């Protein structure tokens, strides 16, 4: 069988058009039932239990994950497994969100009497207002579509897209209503790039102890170079006789020093160091340290304590390795 590119493009564009129309039609369904569903989920003292079978089950799992990551505790329960013990996961403090395009999915209908007995509110998301599930629900959200994008009219396409989008509408509406913030999002996504930017502190990734490049003011430049070479940070902090940071000496300082033909073997580092340098505190975000480096166009920072003593060192490489950049 031959593959004709023009026909493929035509079919793909048709799918996008049909599903786009299905999504646009949802705007008319943001009605009192949608608001009731939001209220039920907003006032839920337990968790939102999302269920669905087949393709609707996959969408239900995604909706549960989106709710959970945006401030509404939720989890997915397979309706088939629910009939064999998993209904015990549902408590009287929960709200159930059930998905079924037909509203007549056997595995979902089977557990409805138990949901009623437990006494939890039921939100139904179906494509049939007259279905058993829709009539049983405390609140029904209509996600019906004019047609599936599948040319055979069989594979769930537009219908699953509509359900997914309506699930996002619920999740984001609740997010706003609950005052969910970027910091809250980071707490539930500590492994993601946003989580790292909002949670990782300088103290979590800075070099400490013997890893900090340090030399006294009285050291020769050659000794400072040995320290810089050993610690591999492209700089060293210089401390005074009280152990406080007095200056910094970088690769750039060395190049400028050599341009003036100074003697690196006989000159004290205190004579060549940069006294006015940028330092940071350990309790700031690593992302803030990155911004400082970018603004100052530097590749490393000394971390000082309240007494201006060096307690750490941080390089751009450390930030890149931590996933901040």
Could you list the pLDDT tens digit for every one of the 325 residues in the chain? Answer: 566 788 888 889 999 999 999 999 999 999 999 999 999 999 999 999 999 999 999 999 999 999 998 889 999 999 988 777 777 889 999 999 999 999 999 999 999 999 999 999 999 999 999 999 999 999 999 999 999 988 887 788 999 999 999 999 999 999 988 887 776 676 665 566 666 666 788 999 999 999 999 999 999 999 999 999 999 999 999 999 999 999 999 998 888 888 886 787 888 999 889 999 999 999 998 889 999 999 999 999 999 999 999 999 999 999 888 887 6
Q: Where are the domains of the chain?
A: 18-180, 202-322
Which DSSP symbol is given to 129?
T
CA 202 to CA 280: how far, in whole Å? 9
Q: At the topology level of CATH, where does 202-322 sit?
A: CBS-domain (3.10.580)
Range 18-180 classified under CATH 3.40.50.10490: yes
Handedness of CA 88, 91, 94, 95 (dihedral sign): positive
**Entry pTM:** 0.67
Task: Please check if 78 is assigned to a binding site.
Answer: yes
Q: Report the side by side order of strands in the sheet with 310-315.
A: 279-280, 300-304, 310-315
């Amino acid at each position: 069988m031959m593959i004709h590119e023009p026909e493929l493009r035509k079919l793909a564009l048709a799918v996008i058009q049909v599903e786009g129309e299905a999504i646009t039609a949802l705007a008319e369904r943001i009605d009192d039932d949608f608001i009731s569903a939001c209220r039920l989920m907003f006032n839920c003292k337990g968790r939102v239990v999302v269920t669905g079978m087949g393709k609707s089950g996959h969408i239900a799992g995604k909706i549960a994950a989106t709710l959970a990551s945006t401030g509404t505790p939720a989890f997915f329960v397979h309706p088939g497994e629910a009939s064999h013990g998993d209904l015990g996961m549902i408590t009287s403090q929960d709200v159930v969100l059930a998905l079924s395009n037909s509203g007549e999915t056997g595995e979902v209908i089977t557990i409805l009497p138990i949901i009623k007995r437990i006494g939890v509110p039921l939100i139904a998301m179906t494509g049939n207002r007259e279905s058993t599930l829709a009539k049983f629900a405390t609140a029904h959200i209509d996600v019906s579509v004019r047609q599936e994008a599948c040319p055979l009219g069989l594979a769930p396409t537009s219908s699953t897209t509509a359900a997914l989008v309506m699930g996002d509408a619920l999740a984001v509406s609740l997010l706003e209503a609950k005052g969910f913030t970027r910091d809250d999002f980071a707490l539930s996504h500590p492994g993601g790039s946003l989580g790292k930017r909002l949670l990782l502190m300088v103290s979590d990734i800075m070099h400490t102890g013997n890893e900090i490049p340090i030399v006294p003011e009285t050291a020769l430049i050659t000794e400072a170079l040995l320290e810089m070479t050993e610690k591999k940070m492209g700089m060293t902090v210089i401390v005074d006789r009280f152990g406080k940071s007095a200056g910094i000496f970088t690769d750039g300082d060395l190049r400028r020093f050599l341009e003036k033909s100074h003697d690196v073997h006989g000159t004290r580092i205190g004579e060549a160091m940069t006294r006015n340098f940028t330092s940071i505190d350990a309790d700031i975000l690593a992302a803030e340290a990155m911004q400082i480096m970018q603004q100052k166009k530097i590749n490393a920072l000394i971390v000082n304590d309240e007494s201006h003593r060096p307690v750490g060192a941080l390089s751009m490489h450390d930030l890149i390795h931590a996933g901040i950049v």
